[in-house]
Structure 1
Amino acid sequence: MSRAFHKEEIVVPIHHIGILATSLSTTAALLAPGTPAAAAPTAPASDSTLVLAVLPADHSGVPPRLATLECDPDGGTHATAGSACDDLRSVDGDIAALADEGGICTREYQPVTAIAAGLWEGNPVAYRETFSNRCVLLHATGDVFDF
């Protein structure tokens, strides 16, 4: 089933797309079997690796925040990898199923889009959702996008 995209859905500035594409292609190269990076004698690669991004939806020129998250063993560039992996383990890698912690956020409208792509226990993950501000994002996704 194909999905039609409307002009108003494309809200990522072109320079952000380049940064995301580079990050995703680097991660894909590291995950692909048979590549020199995969063949190097290092610790076993995690089959739960995600590239995470938080993008301002208002084209404000603020650069996207990017991180990699590896689980089992926990690591990557994510600042709180252990707790982010614990959050994902609690929902079997389904970011949309994370429980909203509630809490108080301002009603300030500064939308951010959260994007995740990669693998969870060997299964593909693709997530994208826009939140009214960073506080709402963090309450909805726990530590996953807190980097």
Structure 2
Amino acid sequence: MRNTARWAATLGLSAAAVCGPLTGASVATPASAPASLYAPSAMVLTIGHGDNAATVTPERAVTLTCAPRASGTHPAAAEACAELRDVGGDFDALTARDDVQCTKEYNPVLVTVQGVWQGKRVDYKRTFGNACVKDSYGSTVFAF
């Protein structure tokens, strides 16, 4: 039951993040004109405690839209989008900062990202040893 509720919440947030920007006022454009010059970049990021995506209940979820402009419920959307652009949308390329020291306590934190980055599907999961380790990666992307 928990897993069903988690997936329902994630899918609902994903749909809102991806489809929300598309529900604006209708504007008459020529049939040959593209709807946007930017490929969509909209994602839902979640955080939960545990190391198994099937059993972890998200404790916090935010939306992040990077194209055509940075927006969403992420507290630092513009900075997070800039960091993702710097690594080409590759979440694995976000590395820990050298100026952060964390304890070796194992209290796993699972981060998931689902959505679209520049028109390509994103389905990312990463388990960090603890919240300090998570916060040391990508100064703003995972800080919510």
The one-letter amino acid paired with 1:52 is L
Residues 49-60 of structure 1 correspond to what in structure 2 (within 5 A)? Answer: 49-57=42-50
Unaligned runs of 5+ in 1: 1-13
1:23 paired to 2:20: no
User: Structure 1 residues 119 and 28 mapped into 2: Cα distance closer, same or farther (>3 Å)?
Assistant: same
RMSD: 3.1
User: Structure 1 residues 119 and 37 mapped into 2: Cα distance closer, same or farther (>3 Å)?
Assistant: closer
Kept in 2: contact 1:51–1:118 (CA 8 A): yes
Kept in 1: contact 2:42–2:64 (CA 8 A): yes
Distance in 2 (alpha carbons) for counterparts of 1:105 and 1:98 = 17
The one-letter amino acid paired with 2:77 is A
1:47 paired to 2:40: yes
SS in 2 for 1:75: coil
1:86 paired to 2:82: yes
SS in 2 for 1:71: strand
Task: Give the superposition deviation at 1:111.
Answer: 0.5
Distance in 2 (alpha carbons) for counterparts of 1:29 and 1:69 = 11
Unaligned runs of 5+ in 2: 27-35
SS in 1 for 2:43: strand
Count the aligned residue pairs: 130
User: Structure 1 residues 133 and 91 mapped into 2: Cα distance closer, same or farther (>3 Å)?
Assistant: same
Task: Give the superposition deviation at 1:109.
Answer: 1.6
Q: Name the counterpart of 1:130.
A: 127
Q: Name the counterpart of 2:60.
A: 65
Q: Name the counterpart of 2:31.
A: none
Distance in 1 (alpha carbons) for counterparts of 2:61 and 2:111 = 10
The one-letter amino acid paired with 2:137 is A
Task: Give the superposition deviation at 1:31.
Answer: 3.0
User: Structure 1 residues 55 and 93 mapped into 2: Cα distance closer, same or farther (>3 Å)?
Assistant: same
